[in-house]
Homo-oligomer: A and B are copies of this chain.
Amino acid sequence: MKINTFRNFSRDAIHNIWRNSWMSVASVSSVVAVLLIIGLVLIFMVNVQYIASFVEDKIELKAFLELDVEYEEIIEIKEQLESNEMIGTIIYESKEEALEKFSQQIGERKDLISGLEENNPLQNSFILTIKDPSQAGEIAKSIERIKGVEEVKYGEEIVDKVLKSTRFIRSLTLIVTVILAIISIFIISNTIKLTVYGRKKEISIMKYVGATNWYVRWPFLIEGAILGLIGALLALLILGYSYYYFTGMAQHTALSIISNSLVPAGQMINQIKWYFVIGGLSIGVIGSILSMRKFLKV
């Protein structure tokens, strides 16, 4: 392909965008709309995943130590725990701290346990977070094998429930996102097909005059890329700005609990930026090339 030919393609693509301005607007706005739907659901999904992993990170193991362990032994146990790669943070809780916590938990009825300080029935313990919550059971067992550890508790039932819920929500939003994405892409491909259909006469004329398939395709391809890109950037702008505005707004109101556990706007935009640009481009390019196939056979 000569450089002049490529220049012609670009010229034709831009001319066509202008001359079919009505259709160009339709294409761009459809791309924007589709990317907005996908983006909206994607943001929703990313946040759900984010919140879910937040919840999962809250899962703790509690390793109760035998009543008679000495200070040195505790240090030793801690070192052993630290050497375990599956364990995240390690916090030591003495039995005095445990009692204090308990009395706070039962709140107003504190009087019920007054006098227990002198005769503390509780145990020293390590509070551990783990890196992979689904491994909780096995890690607990391995820790119980350490000398000086009496028992490891982690509220099996609750962990189980939490894990099931988060896993359910994760996969549900993933499924919904994927379905919506597929439907949206289907719609946009329909739209592109129809725009190309409106120009099938033009395509066939080019072929009758002796243009090769690629010669016909190139201007459409460039046109598709430009329109797809414009669509992607517009969608990104709308979505990014709304999300920024929304999280910002939420921060100063009663919704701060929620907004604080959302992915920050900057990070979110960074994360979806390239998906959008690549998505918009490929929608435009692949969409027009595929839709043209039928009309090139003349």
Chain A residues packing against B (C-beta within 8 Å): 22-23, 26, 29-30, 33-34, 36-37, 40, 44, 102, 106, 109, 111-113, 116, 121, 161, 164-165, 168, 176, 179-180, 183-184, 186-187, 190-191, 193-195, 197-198, 254-255, 257-258
Contact = CB atoms under 8 A, between A and B. Distances in A.
Give the secondary structure class of A's interface: helix
Given A187-B191, A190-B29, A195-B194, A180 B40 contact: yes
Given A34-B187, A40-B176, A194-B198, 4 more contacts: A23-B194, A106-B106, A111-B121, A112-B112
A197 B179 CA distance: 29
Contact of A193 (B26, B180, B197, B254): B26
Q: How many protomers of this protein does the assembly include?
A: 2
Contacts of A168: 255, 258
Contacts of A44: 176
Contacts of A40: 176, 179-180
Nearest to A161: B257
Nearest to A113: B112
Contacts of A37: 37, 180, 183-184
Contacts of A254: 164
A204 to B, nearest CB: 14
